[in-house]
Structure 1
Amino acid sequence: MLSISSSKPTVLVIDDIPENLTLMYQLLKDDYKVKGASSGVRGIALAETANPSLILLDIMMPEMDGYQVCQRLKSNPATRDIPVIFLTAKAERVDEQRGFELGAADYITKPINPKIVQARVKTHVSLKIASDILKSEKEKLENEVKIRTAEALRQKEELHAIQDIAFYAMVSLAETRDNETGNHIRRTQIYIKRLAETLRQNPSYTEELSDEFIELLYKSAPLHDIGKIGIPDAILLKKGSLTEDEFEVMKTHTTIGYEAIKNAEKVSGRQMCFLKVAKEIAYSHHERWDGNGYPLGLSGESIPLSARLMAIADVYDALISKRVYKPAFTHQDAVQIILSGKGTHFDPFIVDAFTEISDELYDIALTYTN
């Protein structure tokens, strides 16, 4: 293969078919240093020495299949943090599930769509780089704090920058799974900020909804559906109504999102306010005021305020947006549906705030259309 600048992230492709190795090299060579291995044994050895940012792994290989390779990689401290994307012709849901159970970061079926592969590779490489920066920065901060307390402000600014990198990588991952996600994320982010600013006029919420907390809401809101990265494409992108079983799988995106953010918090080694709010929103934005929501069946004020605000922002945007499984409702119909859920689905005070600014929210929706 041609020499590629070492400044580029390395992607390791493990596939026993030479044509497939060549295809992936041609597809990724402009942005990455691409290394290839034609067997599982060779791939494991390269993973230990080449320090790749990502591994693309075939499943159906002789001697050692992709599942075995993944298991070996994840059991080795030197390679367990390298994200693995299965790139395979095995398209059954049970195969995909097994891949994720073994620790894979993603699962792409053949024949591939080049744009999808490039997008998924970009996202997971970004996540790996962000994770590496977080780990490195944690060690650096621990050493510097002992001897240079005067640099606390600089350290804080660096931590914020790292948070932004990790945040961008996580949101990008969600966007690559669902092409309807990008503007939905932007709209709901603005909705929740304006809802919080309006609700703050209610004396019962003035103290809790400080400028700092509203900024945390705004920053954390885009992670509300991050758990959908763990939902199989056959369900997430289905062009029709979900079956009861499929809906039960879809509902797990709340728990998956919560766990993903919690794991990101563990990497940082410290509590972060914006990740605390992000966990609340991801986990509880499908809870209902009357206790008939999920995943925990919380009710009333036991539902975090951040999640109660997101519940209305999310439902309103879903109602007025066209989806593969439904047409868009008019703004007026969506407002009436929200009003009908006052005191059952939604916090009554937040519904009042929504009603006060509903026309403004619709203007926001028109500004950030799909």
Structure 2
Amino acid sequence: MGNDIPAGAQVPRDTIMVVDDTPENLVLLSRILQPEGYKVMVLPDGKRALEAIRARQPDLILLDIMMPGMDGFQVCAALKADPATATIPIIFISALSEPLDKVKAFDAGAVDYITKPFNVMEVKARVGVHLDLSFLQKELEYYNARLEERVREQVMELSRGHLALITAMSKLASVRDSETGDHIERTRRLCRLLAELLKKTPAFADAIDEGFVENIYNASPLHDIGKVAISDYVLLKEGELLPEEFEVMKTHTTIGKEYLGQALAKSPGNKYLRMGMEIAGNHHERWDGQGYPVGLSGEDIPLSARIMSLVDVYDALRSKRSYKEAFSHDAVVEIMRWEGGRRFDPDILAVFLDNDAEFERERDGPV
């Protein structure tokens, strides 16, 4: 039964159920098996056998084929159809000895077939082999389950480490500017909301799953990580930027992408860094190709960046800056509607416009 039983402990006996409508066969098989240390349960028909199995499952079943009421094939089919009993090994016992009878038995799900009259050594050998195989199968399933659980725990631990790294990195962008910190928190929530809404639409159902939604929620805070390299004079300037200052500000996209790319090279399994790099480098691209830093257009812009682009503009317009007042939600909706397919992916914009009230509630909720 394995090597994990403590010394001195009583070894539990395997329970074997014998189902046969002939009393002599029940007595004979009991006399063969009990001296081997097995606990034997005897039942005279299939119906009572199924009732007894529901109360207590045996480790193996010796099942006669030719019985009144339910025959052996019907009993076997009922057991295999129930997940709770499907793995109990069944050995058919029968006077039928034609090859087709044996093939039918194996097709029904039996693990073996013993013909009558019984050979004592054969019965002992076949029963012992299949009990050992069943035990090893259960032991393998147990260790596989433990291994899967350990792998899940390690993946979760790794994911927590990745997330901690992302959180620490995203805070770099807000150290010098408290408004940036609030913007990061609002936009991550809005990205999650938009991704969840897009996931329900035919246009994006294949591209967005729960993993994507989780990734964009955790990766979007990195969209402005490149601003850590922008001078305070430009980043914190009160008033509108001069053209040359705006050119400096635009470099936060390429700097962010390069910075995250270097981090990803050291942690290639970090899915948040991978999507964060997409977003940081491309969230200022426009659908019509007039954005920066490269001038990508349409679906050449990564989906994560297209989502971030809309969310970033929405929150920026709703926010007060040193050079402008905050716009109302309704005013921003009209501005974005007017932008149409020039700045934003038209399908993403349509979902936003159809659900703008949800965005207002999410954006104006507590940070």
**TM-score when normalising by structure 1:** 0.57
SS in 1 for 2:187: helix
SS in 1 for 2:340: coil
Identity of aligned residues (%): 46
Task: Tell me by how many angstroms 1:273 deviates.
Answer: 2.0
1:298-337 map, 5 Å: 298-337=296-335
Indicate the residue corresponding to 1:214 in structure 2. 213
Task: Tell me by how many angstroms 1:149 deviates.
Answer: 9.9
| Amino acid across the alignment from 1:283 | G
1:171-186 map, 5 Å: 171-186=170-185
CA deviation string 1:316-346 (max 9, x = no partner): 0000100111110111110011111111000
Task: Tell me by how many angstroms 1:305 deviates.
Answer: 0.6
| Amino acid across the alignment from 2:255 | I
2:341 to 340, 343, 348: 343
1:163 counterpart = 2:155: no
Contact 1:174 1:229 in 2 (8 A): yes
- Distance in 1, Cα, partners of 2:201 & 2:364: 28
- Distance in 2, Cα, partners of 1:279 & 1:340: 29
Indicate the residue corresponding to 1:287 in structure 2. 285
- Distance in 2, Cα, partners of 1:217 & 1:176: 22
- What RMSD, in angstroms, separates the aligned Cα atoms of the two structures? 1.6
- Distance in 2, Cα, partners of 1:335 & 1:149: 48
- Distance in 1, Cα, partners of 2:200 & 2:337: 20
1:235 counterpart = 2:247: no
Task: Tell me by how many angstroms 1:195 deviates.
Answer: 1.1
CA deviation string 1:34-73 (max 9, x = no partner): xxxxxxxxxxxxxxxxxxxxxxxxxxxxxxxxxxxxxxxx
1:261-300 map, 5 Å: 261-268=260-267, 270-300=268-298
Contact 1:183 1:368 in 2 (8 A): no
Contact 2:275 2:304 in 1 (8 A): yes
Compared with structure 1, are the counterparts of its residues 327 and 156 closer, same or farther at alpha carbon in structure 2 (3 Å cutoff)? same
Contact 1:261 1:275 in 2 (8 A): yes
Indicate the residue corresponding to 2:360 in structure 1. 362
Contact 1:321 1:327 in 2 (8 A): yes
Count of residue pairs brought into register by the alignment: 221
| Amino acid across the alignment from 2:364 | L
1:204 counterpart = 2:203: yes
CA deviation string 1:123-182 (max 9, x = no partner): xxxxxxxxxxxxxxxxxxxxxxxxx99953343233212212211211121110211012
1:8-19 map, 5 Å: none
CA deviation string 1:9-39 (max 9, x = no partner): xxxxxxxxxxxxxxxxxxxxxxxxxxxxxxx
- Distance in 1, Cα, partners of 2:255 & 2:206: 32
| Amino acid across the alignment from 2:209 | S
**TM-score when normalising by structure 2:** 0.58
